[in-house]
Structure formats: C-alpha cells, structure tokens
Homo-oligomer: A and B are copies of this chain.
Amino acid sequence: MTQIESARNNDVTPEIEQVAQQEGVNTRELMQKVAQGTVVILKNVNHKGINPVGVGKGLSIKINANIGTSHQKSGLDEELKKLEIVQKTGADTVMDLSTGDDIDSTRRSILGKSSIPLGTVPVYQIGIDAINSRESFMEVDKDRILQVIENHCRDGVDFITVHCGVTKAVVDCLEQSPRLTGIVSRGGSMHAAWIKKHNRENPLYEYYDELLDIAKTYDATLSLGDGLRPGCGADAGDRAQVMETIVLGELVQRARKAGVQAMVEGPGHVPFNLIAGMVETIKKLTFDAPLYVLGPLVTDIAPGYDHITSAIGGTAAAVAGADFLCYVTPSEHLGLPDIEQVREGVITSKIAAHAADVAKGRQVSIERDRLMSIARVDLDWNKQAEYAIDKDVFEAIDDGKPCTMCGEYCSMKIFKETVNPSAILK
C-alpha cells in the first residue's frame, strides 16, 4: 500500500511516524494530511536506507538540488562529488537530470549513494536514448515512455517529474495566446513538439491511468511538471500557464483517487508583486497539492545571479504557500553548474526556505535565529558558527574579539560596557 492509501486506512506508517518526529508535528494530524494529499511522503518502496521526507501543509519548507552528467561537461565522478556536497550542505532531496553516457547505471550509482530522496525526469532519458539510437523523440510511443518510467520507479526513484499537463488543448491555448518565451521547460517543449507532429494527445495524459498504476506499485510520487511555466516575467500568469494548472488539478484528483501521491510543479519567472496571488491561485486550482517551485525568479536580467533572484522569489512564494523549492545556481541560463556553484545554490535555497519558515512562525527556526543573535552579542564566534547556515565563513575570526567590520567601535562592546548590559535579554 502507498502512503496515501495507508493513511486513508488510518494506518500510521513508520514513514509517517518518522516524518512527524523530524518535523515536530502531531502524528495523526500528519496522517490526515497524507490521506488528503496535502502532504506527500517521498520514499519509493525500493529505495532502501533513506530517510523519508515529507513535503506540504504544516511542514518545514524543503529544498531540492539538481545534479546530473552531460556530454558537454561532466561525468559520473564529478556528479557523485556534487551529490556528496549537496547532502553535506543540507539539501532535502536531489534530482538526477543526467543526459550523459549510460543514464541507467548513473542513476543506480546515485541512488546507491543517496541518503535523501531522489527524483528524476524520465523524459530526458527517453530523448537521449532516441538520439543515441539515431531516432528522434518524435518516434517514441507511449509504451517506450512508460517502460522508461517503470525502470526509474523500479530502481527506487522517489519522485518523477511527468509533463502530463501539456495536453493538446493546452498547446492549442498557447498558440492562440502568444507569449514572449514560448515553452522553456525542456520536457514541456519535447511533449509539445510530439503533440504537434502527430496531432495526437500527449501519451502521458491519454494513458495517465497506466502511469498511475506504475507509480502506485512503487509508491513513487508524481511531480506534475509545469511544462508551460513562464520563462520570463512578462509571461507570468498568462492563459496557457493557468490552463495547464487547471489540467494539473484534474490530474491531482485522479492520482489521489487512485492511491498515488502527487505534487505540482510551479514557476519559473514571476515579478515579485504577482507571486503571492499566483501561489494562492495554483494551490486553489490544484486542491492544495504540495507545490514545488523553480524560483520564482523576480527579474529576467540577472544571469550569473539567478540563485539570488530565485531566493527573493522563493522566500515570497514559500511564505504564500509553496512547500518545496528547487534550487537555482549562479549558472542558471548560462550552463551546468560546477561543484562550487552547486554548493552556493543549496545554501541560497536553504536561506530562502529558512527565512520563510521564520516568517511562517516555525518555532525551531525562530529559536535558531534567537540563539545566533545571542552568540553575536557575546562575540562568541564558535557558537555563531554552530548556528550559521555555513560555518566555514567563521574560520578567520578570533573568538571573543570583534570582527574587523567595526573593530574597537563595535556597537556590541560599547553597548554592554557603557550603556546598559541589563537592557539585553537572554
């Protein structure tokens, strides 16, 4: 039985128990949310030795890091190093987006070394396999697509991005309502091209029930991809995006009914003023499914710094109700990230997630900020390193001494020594 089925049967699974404990929430309340589908538990029955991760209503904001081999840039060894960094730096999940040699064995290596849930986008492999066999993605059929998806699930992949919402009607809608950047989702553009070529429905939509059967067998969570997400601020919230979101809502309901866990992917590029309303709209249209966003990036003009534009948008989105942030690295829009950029992406996403947790009143997050602030007043650099999101930055500072920023004119020193130390709370 899947987590959602067990929860509906009033069974508290070991995974629900474990997530409740990690999150400090009530076990039966969590079980009810899993039963309703407003929380998903990421854990494939075949992925042994990992901690299940809960995503959704009432839980802390989670972050995901993408890694993966490519012909142009990077092989398995480097990607395994990235996996290590990603886990050490504190990502909650990782996605393997490999497009290099032997995608199957790469995925199995990563699965074997991952202690956190792993996600994939099976359609990437389908595309690469087609190229390697001198075919085109246009020639693949639903059996091939479902076969690759089943391989991923059988191997133990905990969540898969599937672009089932890129339907014929959604692509028609896009063509009737032009936008600035067309389709910027790789999977979305591949499915749209297939639909146009064959003038047929997206197989993942037409045979969604078969996909649900596969996901159910392994309790792989469906991450319903937003193939029509806006690729620039000007396209945010347009007809095509909202139309697809309505379809995703239908797919969420069908997944829940079939006993399959599902979450929904969200944008993308969204100006700051539109973020809260957009998140609320998506949540409403998808029946409060856990929302997994890529960004949102609050401006289009900052390549090289899109980890920052997405931390701004990610914080706002998470405060408004998004549950899960996909990291964005400084190399977004430019190329694949190196190890240092991967690390920076994870840290930046964690900052956004933590800032949102604080804003939403999560006590353990607020307490960490409080303890950091006390350590700061005490000029206790060791303690500051303990509470910091990145302890390495404290290496150069002598404990007990003010930093070189203000030197002797350290306001902390002046206040305690000459104003009134008793005006400081402990």
Pick from A124, A403, A416 the residue with the most CB of B within 10 Å: A403
Q: Is the CB of A124 within 8 A of B409?
A: yes
A9-17, A29-37, A177-185, A258-266: which lies at the interface: A177-185
Q: Mark A260-281, 1 if CB is under 8 A from B, else 0.
A: 0000000000011110000000
Q: Mark A183-203, 1 if CB is under 8 A from B, else 0.
A: 111101110110011000000
Q: Is the CB of A196 within 8 A of B355?
A: no
Say yes or no for A108: interface residue by CB 8 A criterion: no
Q: Which residues of A29-83 have CB atoms within 8 Å of chain B's CB atoms? A: 70-73
Question: Which residues of chain B have C-beta atoms less than 8 A from A73's C-beta?
Answer: 404
Question: Which residues of chain B have C-beta atoms less than 8 A from A374's C-beta?
Answer: 180
Q: Is the CB of A99 within 8 A of B304?
A: no
Question: Which residues of chain B have C-beta atoms less than 8 A from A356's C-beta?
Answer: 272
CB nearest to A232 among chain B residues = B373
A152-160, A209-217, A241-249, A308-316: which lies at the interface: A308-316
Say yes or no for A85: interface residue by CB 8 A criterion: no
Q: Is the CB of A193 within 8 A of B418?
A: yes
Q: Mark A289-313, 1 if CB is under 8 A from B, else 0.
A: 0000000001111111101110110
* Cβ distance A139 to chain B, nearest Cβ, rounded Å: 13
Q: Is the CB of B179 within 8 A of A301?
A: no
CB nearest to A351 among chain B residues = B302
Q: Is the CB of B372 within 8 A of A300?
A: yes
* Cβ distance A318 to chain B, nearest Cβ, rounded Å: 9
**A334-B272 CB under 8 A given contacts A369-B301, A373-B232:** no
Question: Which residues of chain B have C-beta atoms less than 8 A from A418's C-beta?
Answer: 138, 193, 196-197
* Cβ distance A209 to chain B, nearest Cβ, rounded Å: 27
**How many copies of this chain does one complex carry?**
2
* Cβ distance A188 to chain B, nearest Cβ, rounded Å: 7
Chain A at the B interface: SS class: helix
CA distance A360 to B396 in the complex (A): 41
**A424-B301 CB under 8 A given contacts A73-B404, A189-B419, A405-B332:** no
Q: Is the CB of B179 within 8 A of A424?
A: yes
Say yes or no for A175: interface residue by CB 8 A criterion: yes
Q: Is the CB of A419 within 8 A of B192?
A: yes
CA distance A414 to B416 in the complex (A): 63
CA distance A127 to B347 in the complex (A): 38
A19-27, A110-118, A382-390: which lies at the interface: A382-390
Q: Is the CB of B99 within 8 A of A409?
A: yes
Say yes or no for A400: interface residue by CB 8 A criterion: no
Q: Is the CB of B301 within 8 A of A354?
A: yes
Pick from A315, A360, A384, A412 the residue with the most CB of B within 10 Å: A315
Question: Which residues of chain B have C-beta atoms less than 8 A from A271's C-beta?
Answer: 355, 358-359
CB nearest to A392 among chain B residues = B304
Q: Is the CB of A369 within 8 A of B300?
A: yes
Question: Which residues of chain B have C-beta atoms less than 8 A from A305's C-beta?
Answer: 347-348, 351, 389-390
CA distance A193 to B415 in the complex (A): 7
Question: Which residues of chain B have C-beta atoms less than 8 A from A358's C-beta?
Answer: 233, 271-272, 298-299
* Cβ distance A323 to chain B, nearest Cβ, rounded Å: 16
Question: Which residues of chain B have C-beta atoms less than 8 A from A360's C-beta?
Answer: 273
